[in-house]
Amino acid sequence: MQMTRNEILEKLKEILLSADEAAGDSIHLVTERTGLQSDLGLSSVNMLYMIIATEEVFGIRFDEVGTNDFKTVGDVVSYIEGKL
């Protein structure tokens, strides 16, 4: 069964929260336009954790991409959607 973008976004919010617990107060405000580093302030370590956790949760692999390839939450949602 294919997941909707919104379902992917909701799972990704859970991953982001576990990557950076400080985001807890504002995680409900996260949209696809939210910047990973500019708005959420994710460090490269947080980004790497997010990628690893996303691979596990969604059962996908991030092939030949780096933490700088994703600027917004929507970029990650689109990548996951393409891999499912």
- pLDDT for 33-82, tens place per residue? 999 999 988 888 888 899 999 999 999 999 888 777 899 999 999 999 99
**Residue 14's pLDDT band (cuts 50, 70, 90):** very high
Beta bridge partners of 72: 35
Tokens of 17: 């929260």
pTM: 0.89
Tell me what pLDDT residue 2 has: 84
pLDDT digits (tens, 9 = 90+) for 20-33: 766 667 788 999 99
Please count the structural domains in the chain: 1
Question: Which residues, in sequence order, are bridge partners of residue 35?
Answer: 72
Position 1 scores a pLDDT of 57
Whichever domain contains 17, its CATH number is 1.10.1200.10
Q: Give the structural domain span for 66.
A: 5-83
Tally helices (H) and strands (E) across the chain. Answer: 3, 0
